[in-house]
Amino acid sequence: MCDPRRYLPAVDVLLSHQMMVRSQVSHRLKRRAVRELLAGERERLSRADSVPFDHDQLATQALARARSMAASRAPSVFNLTGTVIHTNLGRAPLAESAIEAMTRAASHSLALEYDIDSGRRGDRDQVVESLLCELTGAEAATVVNNNAAAVVLTLSALGAGREAVISRGELIEIGGSFRLPDIMHTSGCYLREVGTTNRTHTRDFEQAMNDATGLIFKAHTSNYAVEGFTASVPENELARVAHARGVPFIVDLGSGALTDMAALGLPDEAQPRQSIDAGADVVTFSGDKLLGGPQCGLIVGSREYIDRIRRHPLKRALRVDKLIMSALEATLQLYRDSDEIARDIPTLALLTRGEADIAATAERLLPAVAECLPHMQVSIAACRSQLGSGALPVDRLSSRALVIASTAQERRLGERSLRQLEAAFRQLPRPVIGRLHDGALWLDLRCLQGELEESAFTEQLCHLSLNQENTP
């Protein structure tokens, strides 16, 4: 019997197949895909007594392989998880003007570290420093890669080799490997815990102060809440205790809002300005949480301490690039200039989106989804979105979800078909990320806003029914 591998086409033969020739994918990628495919086939045929595919099939497979190589590993998705500021899904969508600024910065040279008036070298912090000072009431400001970096840099610059005093109720883990005790250690500070998990008093801090004290640190307990019999020391008290010793008082706000959230009808969130007013010497917060800007860490505070932070060697290693700087500047300008901030900052627009508006989206989408999933039961249910990324951990926003469950007759297959369904939504051209809860797939529609997004969502549902038919 003759070797079936003999019937495999040569690379160039497959590359000149009509289907391959017509495809837009680069020649280099097609060649690689064909080579890999044929190698795989050769291997398969050497093991199994099976027939090789015909050329059409091989070309189809090679093209699929080439396309998947060309596809992004971080495609845009529909975030229907119910978590608005979702770290795994890239957090904040940017404002229109921030996107424009970023595009401009990407395509042109810009005066990033250059003083146009004097023609001399400038400092890139100057792009945003005056805006940050105006918005927070601080004397000076600097920017680094993210808030974790802001905390590490601040502690390294102001507390290395000395004790950092912090309440036991605030020794937080944010996620990833950001745990405050470890961060303190990495920054060269000696952790000095005071008080207890639920109650810490001014006298606890006063008693901990000694010649080795480097700073007092307060962390916003951003992903949990301590409730019941609790006590913590107000910021103005901590500032007083620190200043009596001549050491700085540092606040890590985590999210930090640049506008009054309560005035927008949202749960209240601490603002950097309040900490500065209370006497904090340095306040750090994220650029891409509630602020709704690009990923970065903002450090604001007194001129003296910000200068020390800026001179630390780590600052250079943690600096942000021109794209981030430009997007941040445009975002901060909105906070200074906008007549309607909750409309202009997409994150705030999503958070303040009314229940009735979300319900209307649900009504419009329901028929299309139900039509594509004839064997499922699709309904609309009230749900609660969360802000995410540690912002306002216990608060929830009323929202609406499409809830997809197995029909009663199929209850036995429920779990398996549900997982397949969830996967099918994830495998759409623009993946839809929902949440499995209570035997159903929940698609919280808070973050599916606008006609364009709605039609982008419904138009790709046809691929879903195809997947469904193919599932055994």
User: In the complex, which residues of this chain contact ligand PLP (CB under 6 A)?
Assistant: 146-148, 151, 174, 178, 219-220, 222, 252, 254-255, 286, 297, 389-390
Nearer to ligand PLP, 219 or 350 (CB): 219
Nearer to ligand PLP, 177 or 470 (CB): 177
Q: Rounded to the nearest whole angstrom, what is the least distance from the CB of residue 3 to ligand PLP in the complex? A: 58
388: alpha, beta or left, given left = phi > 0 and alpha = psi -120 to 50?
A: left
Nearer to ligand PLP, 389 or 417 (CB): 389
CA 208 to chain centre: 37
Q: Rounded to the nearest whole angstrom, what is the least distance from the CB of residue 178 to ligand PLP in the complex? A: 6
Nearer to ligand PLP, 156 or 286 (CB): 286
What's the CA gap between 127 and 353, in Å, rounded?
32
The dihedral formed by the CA atoms of 193, 272, 284 and 351, expressed in degrees to the nearest 10: 110
* Cα distances (Å, whole numbers) of residue 152 to 39, 224, 272: 49, 22, 18
Nearer to ligand PLP, 219 or 349 (CB): 219
Q: Identify the sign of the CA torsion 38, 44, 46, 49.
A: negative
What's the CA gap between 97 and 87, in Å, rounded?
22
Q: Rounded to the nearest whole angstrom, what is the least distance from the CB of residue 235 to ligand PLP in the complex? A: 14
Q: Rounded to the nearest whole angstrom, what is the least distance from the CB of residue 268 to ligand PLP in the complex? A: 16
Dihedrals φ, ψ of 292, to 5°? 80, 25
Nearer to ligand PLP, 14 or 128 (CB): 128
What's the CA gap between 164 and 245, in Å, rounded?
13
Q: Rounded to the nearest whole angstrom, what is the least distance from the CB of residue 367 to ligand PLP in the complex? A: 40
Q: Rounded to the nearest whole angstrom, what is the least distance from the CB of residue 291 to ligand PLP in the complex? A: 10
What's the CA gap between 237 and 48, in Å, rounded?
77
Nearer to ligand PLP, 250 or 376 (CB): 250
Give me the residue whose beta carbon is nearest to ligand PLP: 254
Q: Rounded to the nearest whole angstrom, what is the least distance from the CB of residue 297 to ligand PLP in the complex? A: 6
Closest Cα partner for 290 from 253, 316, 239, 238? 253
What's the CA gap between 329 and 344, in Å, rounded?
14
What's the CA gap between 292 and 92, in Å, rounded?
5
